[in-house]
Amino acid sequence: MKITGITTTVVNAIHRNWVFVKVQTDQPGLHGWGEATLEWKTRAVCGAVEDLAPFVIGEDPRRIEHVYAKMTRFSFWPLGAIGLSAVSAIDQALWDIKAKDLGVPVWQLLGGQVRDRVRVYTHLRRAKIGAQVGTEDIGAFCDAVQETVEMGYNAVKLGFVPYCGHEADLRDILHVEKAAHAVRERVGPDVAIMTDFHGRPASVEAARAFIEVIAPIRPLFVEEPIQPGNAAAMADLSRRVSCPLATGERLFTPREFAELAELRAVTHVQPDLSHCGGLTGGRRIAAIAEAGQMGIAPHNPMGPVAGTVALHFDVATPNFLIQEEAVGLVPWFDEIFDHPMRLQDGCWTIPGGPGLGIEINEAAAARHPFEQEIVPALDAVLPDGTIANW
């Protein structure tokens, strides 16, 4: 069996363009899907897929480790977020092809089923475009959280922390405290709450100030309390606070995750399987995390291929904790995708079909072509005009 072609399909989803990668083979009807969505880097990622094609075309798609090595070693230059996103999508598609060829679900190739359901969490109102509510009106914010839970979820991730610099403003700290406690009172103890700082605090002390007022509501974790890439600073923060920390969506290599494990810097890691080398890279990271007694909570606010890939990964990963999902991000989410992400009692059910079990209606996808995304980060400015971390 040989790979004969690699193509990209771009679908505009308002704040991001989904980048789907199709790997074709010389076997009639046998192809695989992957997703390389990287917010606001669509053109670059599509170009990276084209650049990687010569390394891949003509290879046997079932030799996944071999093809992965060609893409990551022959490139000479470290690939970074853009190149590794392209690698990730191609890698995902190879697993899809191999599992289809064998007639088994992808999770079977990853070691087999280790759980009967996959717990998921969503964002406020499932992150539906135009339906978001800020924390300025705490009552309205709590109403939206309750509405989200009533959609069938028992876990939700929220944004409490405003843009900030090296110092956390006392008024902001007190407001975050009030909002966090109001949410916990509204939903009770049976709903897991996570909060994403997005790396907005520019110092350990600023992050600690916000975490201290959130910690009493017992969040499942605080995500990216500081900017990624400084494992020592994250470990320092972790020792100073009394709730679990998580990071990893903007880390890409096993070495970066090994640093977190060596320093016991966080409780959970959040690799993104569309950026960290696909399922091949994700498996290596999961093993590192398990050795470091860290849970895995994969990042995924993207499209349905990324979600489906994560589902198969979660089914077979022993130290899996919870999965971020973005089903329903746009109203036509289910119209052009046949996918296996089925919500039941706050969890996804286990898929049983061959491969990833997802197919894209390419004609329908063409109705949502590439557009320049709306970039919400453009308003990330502090009162004095300083550009903040979004």
274 and 7 in contact (C-beta within 8 Å)? no
Annotation marks residue 299 as catalytic: yes
CA atoms in the 13 A half-sphere facing the CB of 24: 8
Catalytic residue among 31, 123, 198, 368: 198
Structure tokens at 41: 């880097």
Structure tokens at 182: 């109001």
Catalytic residue among 123, 299, 312, 339: 299
Q: Is 174 exposed, middle or buried (0-12, 13-18, 19+ CB in 10 A)?
A: exposed
Annotation marks residue 198 as catalytic: yes
d(Cα 194, Cα 160) in Å, to the nearest integer?
Answer: 10
Picking from 234, 152, 148, the residue whose alpha carbon sits closest to that of residue 197 is 234
d(Cα 295, Cα 298) in Å, to the nearest integer?
Answer: 10
Query: In degrees, to the nearest 5, what angle opens at C-alpha 79 toward C-alphas 253 and 105?
Result: 60
The pair phi, psi for residue 157, each rounded to 5°, is -110, 135
End-to-end CA distance of the chain: 45
Provide the residue type at 216 as one letter: P
Residues 6+ apart with CB under 8 A from 113: 107, 315, 316, 350
Which are the catalytic amino acids?
A: 198, 299
